[in-house]
Structures are given as structure tokens and as C-alpha cells.
Amino acid sequence: MSISRVAVVGAGILGVAAAREVTTRFPDAEVTVFDKAGAVAAHQSGHTSGIVDSGLDQRPGSADAKRTRRGLQLLIPYMAEAGVPYRECGQLLVAQNTDEAERLEEIFARAKDNEVPGARLLERHEIGTVEPAVRGVLGLFSPHAAIADYSALTEALASDVRAAGGAFRFSTEVTGFDAMSNEVRLRGRPVPADGSPSGSPSSTADDGMKPEPDSVADGQGRGEGGGGTSDPDEQVHDRPRTYHGREPVIGIGDELRERFGEQDWFRQAETTIGEWTQKLSDSWARRDDRRPGDSRSSDRRPGDARSDDPPADGSHRERSHRDGSARETPVEEVLGTFDIVIVCAGLQADRLATAAGLDAEPRIVPFTSDYYRIPTTDTEVARGIIGTVPDPHAPFAETSIVRGLDDGLILGPNTSVALGRESYERRGFDLGDIGSTARFKGFWKFAAQNAKTAAKGVKTAVSKSAFIDEVRRIVPDLDAASVAEGARGVRAQAMNDDGELVDDLIATTRGRLTVVRSVPKWGATSALAIAEDVVDQALRAHLR
């Protein structure tokens, strides 16, 4: 099989693992990894609590269960050899009532079928022998569960890619694909210095030089978004750069106000949203004064010209930036032609899939994962990983207390619908991303099916004390005064048009192009195994 040029789009843990897998199988191939961020693991891979899944809750015999087992077989020896920080600490799931106890027994049955080593049920009086501070009616303990530094893991995998001759092109946004019979041409453009994701360094090349200081992503924390369209379901491929409307993006305030208007947490949320709205209104007014008559439409099909695409004559188009100045948008250019292209874009997976001419579904709906921290070394509060019982009817209600690698405690995630796919600031938002979610009918079907859980999520999202109260149901002696804000992550949740969550590995192939559309919930744990499967699929397409 002749493969000399391979491109991977996305420098998260899965993209880098796929690049490493290619270099292992084809040592002479020229492998290039593209990412618009300035470093590896800039998004999901670098914003987690670090839990290494032991395979408790997968359906026995499923591909996900097999992949988790294979992932652990590859992951643990690799981390030991590469010196990636890793600690086996055990995981305890705790039931608080009879309903949760029944679900916990079902999970235990699956754990036995999945041959999770050492997994056992703990009665009320036995829970304290594992975690002295925990209270519950039934526990499920997995002694070999662990935590790891997934950012360091991604860096180690990237070092392997470089050592094999591979290259990374950071601060390079891939914008399109031309899939031909025997190769794929990549199109893209450089990301300006102020366009890298919040919290990630900016660098234009993988040249070993020290990255530039952190910068805030273009479109985060300000009023950028999309214009109107006649077909709400044709939006996924477009990320409009400027919002020029004046109407609310999501009109669900009356329904929420009727349900929760008398509660303090809802009034607090309304006040916060009102402040944001006023700031946005003022910002739009100033922008309209600066740029009268400018409008942009996001109603287009793949391949159509877009208002924020570079002009056909190759000239630069100016756009307005946060400081009010006009700067040039880089021109789209050909990044190269490749025998195989693998896309592992996470939060932008659906947009790049549509840009490649693939189906729009599954869509990506972003969910924010907020974490809190307690800088304590008191191991009696939590020795390892303590978690609530998963509820299939409340998919984002799970919460954990994790003793981190630095011995501090990590609480979370506190999950809610994200206001931006790459917004990590506490009050950051991107109206283009909000509009993309709001226009997707699958999201509203999901919201209707999970209204009770969503309301609870809103409450804990705007109130730290409400979130801590939920955690203290498990660990009553937790010191609320010592809890501080921690990291924030954004989870790329794939979703179908009917509102069903997609938690399986889904990859779509078109000629020599393979796009990963969805990964399992514990994708980081299984990353090396998923990389094997994705590369296998890409190679099968190459042989056809």
C-alpha cells in the first residue's frame, strides 16, 4: 500500500493518537497535524478532571466496552513508559436512595460482565472503610480506577509523532476539503494572533520556539454570531463572524419565568442575562454606527460562497475587532494535497463534515463543564474518585469528587448548555454558536425530554452554593467555604435530529477523507484504541 502524505485535522488527544498510529504503521509517510489553536490539547483534552474510566457502565459485549478494555491495555503501559502522571486511586459510586441503589446494582452486573477487576458492592456500613467521609445507602467500588494528566499524555503522543518525522501546523484553521479520486486537497487560512482559543498559546509553526502569551478566542466574550435564514436546519456548516440582529436569540424566558420566577436563583440568572443583553445591545449599536449597511447571511450550502470567505480576487476583507479597529481576514489558501486525511475536530466536527459535503448529522451541541477545586491535602475528605450514580434519564447530572494529582480536590462537572463552543471564560459567549444550537430542532427535542434536569442544571449553574449542596449530599463534611472556581471545559456532545444523544464512535468516510463525528463519553481513556479503529477505517477506504 503506497501512502506517502497524510494529514490529520485536530491536535486533541484523539487526533494526535491517530497521527501517531499512522507513523507507527507507515514510518516513511509524511504526516502533518493541523490545528487552529496554538498547542496540542487546547480544548476538551486539556479541560477534564482526569478520570481514567475502568469500564463500569458500558453495555457488555458492545464495541464501546471492548474499546475501553483495549484502550486501558494500551494506555496504562504507555503512560508508565512515557512518564505521564498517573495514579491508581479507586472509584466509589454512591447511591442515596432505593432508586439509585437499584441502578447501582444494574451497573455492578454490567461491571462483572465486563470483567472489571475487583469491582464490588459495599453496604452502608462498608462504605466508610473505603471513603470515611462518604454517606450513602449502597456503594460500588472499583479499586483500579485512576486519574491521569491527559494534557501531558497528548504532549507525549505528539513527541512520538515528531520523533517519527511528523509535523504540526498550529494557528492554521482548516476551512474546506476537495476530495478527489486519489487524494484530498486541504484548504485553510492562518489564525490571527488574537484568534487562538482562550487559555491556549498562539504559535504559527511547530518550530520549538516559546509560544506567544495567552489570548482570547475571536468571537468569545463579545457579540458575534449569525444572521437569519429561511431554513434553520442548514446552519451547522457556517460560523458567522458578526451578528447584526437586535432580537433575542433564544425566546424561552417566558416559559422559564412562569415555572421558576419566584425563586432566588432564577432572579439571579435573569439579572445576569439582562446585564449581558444590555452590553450586547450597546455593542451592536456601536458596530452598526461604524459599519452601516453591512449584513451577512449564513444561509448557504457546502461549496457556496460565504460572506466572510475571502474575495475571489484574492484581496483581503476587513472585519471589526474587539477594540473597534478594522483588520484583515487572512485569505484562504491550499494547505496541501494528501493521500489520506483524517479529521478529529471535536467541537467543530459537524461543521467540517458539512464543509466536506457529508451529512449534517449528527450535530454537535456544546455543553459547558464547570469544575470547582479545594486545595486540601486532607485525604479523609476524599481518597480517590467519589461519584453519583449515573441516571439514563438525566445524562448530565453526574458529579464527582476527585483527588487530583496535586492532592487537591476537583468537584464537578457542573454541566449546562454552553454559550460558545470554545468559550472558557465564565462570562464568555459566542452568538454564532448560541444561534447554531438554538436553530437546531434536535436540541429542543432533547430539552423537552429533559426539562426537569435542565431546570436543575440552570439552578446549579448560576449558584455555586446550590451546586455545593448537591455535592454535600454525598460528603456532608465538605467545607463549603474552601470551595473555589476551577477549570472550565466544553464537551462536544453529538446529537441527532430527534434529540437523541450519540455516545458511540461514529466516523464517516468519503473517498480518502475520514471524519470522526462522535466519540464515546470516555473517549480520552480509549483514545489509543479509537485511533486504531479510525486509521483502520481510513485505510479500508484507501484500498477501495
**152-186 pLDDT per residue, tens:** 999 999 999 999 999 999 999 999 999 888 899 99
Beta strand 400-403 with 86-88 is: unpaired
Amino acid type, 323: D
Which residue in the block uniquely carries the three cell numbers 474518585? 385
Can you say whether the dihedral through the CA atoms of 110, 115, 117, 118 is positive or negative?
positive
Greater pLDDT, 440 or 319: 440
Greater pLDDT, 439 or 295: 439
Q: Is residue 267 included in any domain, yes or no?
A: no
* pLDDT at residue 336 in the model: 96
| Structure-block grid coordinates of residue 401 | 469528587
Indicate whether 409 pLDDT > 80.
yes
Mean pLDDT check: name the lowest of 49-58, 202-211, 412-421, 498-507. 202-211
β partners of residue 317? 329
* pLDDT at residue 126 in the model: 97
Neighbours of 255 (CB within 10 A): 10
- Size of the chain in residues: 544
β partners of residue 416? 368
β partners of residue 485? 372
**What is the average per-residue pLDDT within 38-44?**
92
Distance CA 190, CA 198 (A): 17
**What is the average per-residue pLDDT within 438-446?**
88
CATH number at residue 214: 3.50.50.60
| Number of structural domains found in the chain | 1
C-beta separation of 149 from 85 below 8 A = yes
Distance CA 11, CA 46 (A): 11
Pick from 2, 5, 1: which is nearest to 338 by CA?
Answer: 5
Collapsed DSSP state (helix, strand, coil) of residue 93: strand
Q: Is residue 314 included in any domain, yes or no?
A: no
Distance CA 430, CA 421 (A): 8
Q: Is residue 468 included in any domain, yes or no?
A: yes
* pLDDT at residue 387 in the model: 95
Q: Is residue 270 included in any domain, yes or no?
A: no
74: burial class by Cβ within 10 Å (0-12, 13-18, 19+)? middle
**Concatenated DSSP letters for 289-348?**
HHSTT--------TTS--TTSPPTTS--EEEE-TTS-EEEEPPPEEEEEESEEEE--GGG
Pick from 544, 538, 530, 533: which is nearest to 29 by CA?
Answer: 538
β partners of residue 410? 373, 402
Distance CA 435, CA 247 (A): 12
Pick from 44, 138, 9: which is nearest to 520 by CA?
Answer: 44
Mean pLDDT check: name the lowest of 203-217, 442-456, 478-492. 203-217
Peptide bond preceding 85: is omega within 30 degrees of 0, i.e. cis?
A: no
Beta strand 501-502 with 484-495 is: antiparallel
Distance CA 389, CA 101 (A): 8
Start-to-end C-alpha separation, the chain: 12
Largest CA distance in the chain: 75
Q: Is residue 289 included in any domain, yes or no?
A: no
Q: Is residue 313 included in any domain, yes or no?
A: no
Q: Is residue 154 included in any domain, yes or no?
A: yes
Can you say whether the dihedral through the CA atoms of 352, 355, 357, 362 is positive or negative?
positive
Neighbours of 246 (CB within 10 A): 10
Q: Is residue 185 included in any domain, yes or no?
A: yes
pLDDT band (50, 70, 90) for residue 466 = confident
Q: 516 φ, ψ to 5°?
A: -80, 120
Mean pLDDT check: name the lowest of 34-48, 83-97, 364-378, 417-431. 417-431
Provide CB contacts within 8 A for 306, sequence distance 6+: 238, 298, 300
Distance CA 429, CA 415 (A): 16
Provide CB contacts within 8 A for 314, sequence distance 6+: 331
Distance CA 107, CA 103 (A): 6
Provide the whole-model pTM: 0.77
* pLDDT at residue 315 in the model: 36
Greater pLDDT, 271 or 428: 428
Which residue in the block uniquely carries the three cell numbers 464515546? 520
Distance CA 525, CA 300 (A): 38
Structural domain boundaries enclosing 198? 5-218+337-543
Amino acid type, 230: S
* pLDDT at residue 458 in the model: 53
* pLDDT at residue 230 in the model: 37
**Which of the 8 DSSP states describes residue 430?**
B
21: burial class by Cβ within 10 Å (0-12, 13-18, 19+)? buried
Mean pLDDT check: name the lowest of 46-60, 244-258, 493-507. 244-258
Distance CA 453, CA 76 (A): 35
